[in-house]
């Protein structure tokens, strides 16, 4: 596999295992002593990493770039986690093969809870390799795979009976029970508690509203998550996941689609993808949180930021925007080159 794939320029790093942690002297040590040792022998041109999440290496790689140095790969028995995995905002409120049938709500983290933190390469930092929030796709992607009588988050049918562990076994005829994830709690947290009548209703108009609310909920959840992370000394964030693999409840910010009559072709953006491009994955970003605490962050290596930052709040209901704070970062006040150079400031705005 390494010989087949190593010529691909998109491969940045080889990782030993997912959702496990390599600890020497245990069964997971095989990922260091055998798996990644073989990988390093086959491709010494790329960095190697023990697992997701991980505490890093204590031997076998160069400290600066994590390229293999030919020595034995070893990991520390304990210590500070430098790569995190999760958390994930799972769905709830409807019996399905994944998620919880009982409705549970969660903290929306809007406005975000921010506090001034020392950031930059010289401070201990964290890389977030995977986290996410459940979501559905648009009506144009979902509807062609369902009968019109099933156009609704609960399928317009009696609930299935689901039991088991991580991946549930469901018995019944409800077509949405096999669609992986419920999103009742996502809609309730960000748009107010709707009740069973809302989710049980079917039809084109209500299904479009339900699906769009689930996509906005995912966008708001991940937006506040990333803004909180970038307000600390996290120097990398990867969201699970990018593209859906079929038109269902999933984690992606890009829709699945095939040349089936009536269905949109894959690659269509969900709202979250627009927020990635507009702000939360920009090299220079700004936001404000609880109590008017704001920050501007420059993650551009080798490039300072010299300019004025204007932070605005958008009211969803009316579309009206309000300027919260203006930060002048010109001249001597310019942000130095990044990554992780952050300027905190206090706004008089109160949520």
Q: What is the pLDDT of residue 133?
A: 97
Structure tokens at 305: 């930021």
Rounded to 5 degrees, what angle do the CA atoms 249, 254, 259 make? 90
Q: Confidence band (pLDDT; 50, 70, 90) for 258?
A: confident
265 confidence band (pLDDT: 50, 70, 90): confident
In sequence order, which residues have a C-beta less than 8 Å from that of residue 329 and are 6 or more positions away?
296, 305, 306, 307, 308, 309, 335, 343
pLDDT at site 204:
98
CA distance 175 to 173: 6
Instruction: Output the CA–CA distances (angstroms, integers) from residue 98 to 90, 93, 165, 270, 350, in the order listed.
Output: 9, 11, 9, 21, 38
- The full set of domain ranges for the chain reads 1-77, 84-280, 284-346
Half-sphere exposure of residue 94, counting CA atoms within 13 Å on the CB side? 32
Residues in a beta bridge with 88: 132
Predicted confidence band at 179 (pLDDT cuts at 50, 70, 90)?
confident
Q: According to the model, what pLDDT value does residue 324 have?
A: 84
Q: What is the mean pLDDT of residues 63-76?
A: 94
Q: Is the pLDDT higher at 258 or at 284? A: 284
Residue 170 in 3-state DSSP?
Answer: strand
Instruction: Please determine, for residue 276, whether its predicted confidence score (pLDDT) is greater than 70.
Output: yes
Residue 325 pLDDT grade (very low, low, confident, very high; cuts 50, 70, 90): confident
Instruction: Give me the pLDDT at residue 349, please.
Output: 67
- Residues contacting residue 314 through CB under 8 Å, at least 6 positions apart: 320, 321
pLDDT at 80: 84
pLDDT of residue 351: 56
The pTM of this model reads 0.92
């Amino acid at each position: 596999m390494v010989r087949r794939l190593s010529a691909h320029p998109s491969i940045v790093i080889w990782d030993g295992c997912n959702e496990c942690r390599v600890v020497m002297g245990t069964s997971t040590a095989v990922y260091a002593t055998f798996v990644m040792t073989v990988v390093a022998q086959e491709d010494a041109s790329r960095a190697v990493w023990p697992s997701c999440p991980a505490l890093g290496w204590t031997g076998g790689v160069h400290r600066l770039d994590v390229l293999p140095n030919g020595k034995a790969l070893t990991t520390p028995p304990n210590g500070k986690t430098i790569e995190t995995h999760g958390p994930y905002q799972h769905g709830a409120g409807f019996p399905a093969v994944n998620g919880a049938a009982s409705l549970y709500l969660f903290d929306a983290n809007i406005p975000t809870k921010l506090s001034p933190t020392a950031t930059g390469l010289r401070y201990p930092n964290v890389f977030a390799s995977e986290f996410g929030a459940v979501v559905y796709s648009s009506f144009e992607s979902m509807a062609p795979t369902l009968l019109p009588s099933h156009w609704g988050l609960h399928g317009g049918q009696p609930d299935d009976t689901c039991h088991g562990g991580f991946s549930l076994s469901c018995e019944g005829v409800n077509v949405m029970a096999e669609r992986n994830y419920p999103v009742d709690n996502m809609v309730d947290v960000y748009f107010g508690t709707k009740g069973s009548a809302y989710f049980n209703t079917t039809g084109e108009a209500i299904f479009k509203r339900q699906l769009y609310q689930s996509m906005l909920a995912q966008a708001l959840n991940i937006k506040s998550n990333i803004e909180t992370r970038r307000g600390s000394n996290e120097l990398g964030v990867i969201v699970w996941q990018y593209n859906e693999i079929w038109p269902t409840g999933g984690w992606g910010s890009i829709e699945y689609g095939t040349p089936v009559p009536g269905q949109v072709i894959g690659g269509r953006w969900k709202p979250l993808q627009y927020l990635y491009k507009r702000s939360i994955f920009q090299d220079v970003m700004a936001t404000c949180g609880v109590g008017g605490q704001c920050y501007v962050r420059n993650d551009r290596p080798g490039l300072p930021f010299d300019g004025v930052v204007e932070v605005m709040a958008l009211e969803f209901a009316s579309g009206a925007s309000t300027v919260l704070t203006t930060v002048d970062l010109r001249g001597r006040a310019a942000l130095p080159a990044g990554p992780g150079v952050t300027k905190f400031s206090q706004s008089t705005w109160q949520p």
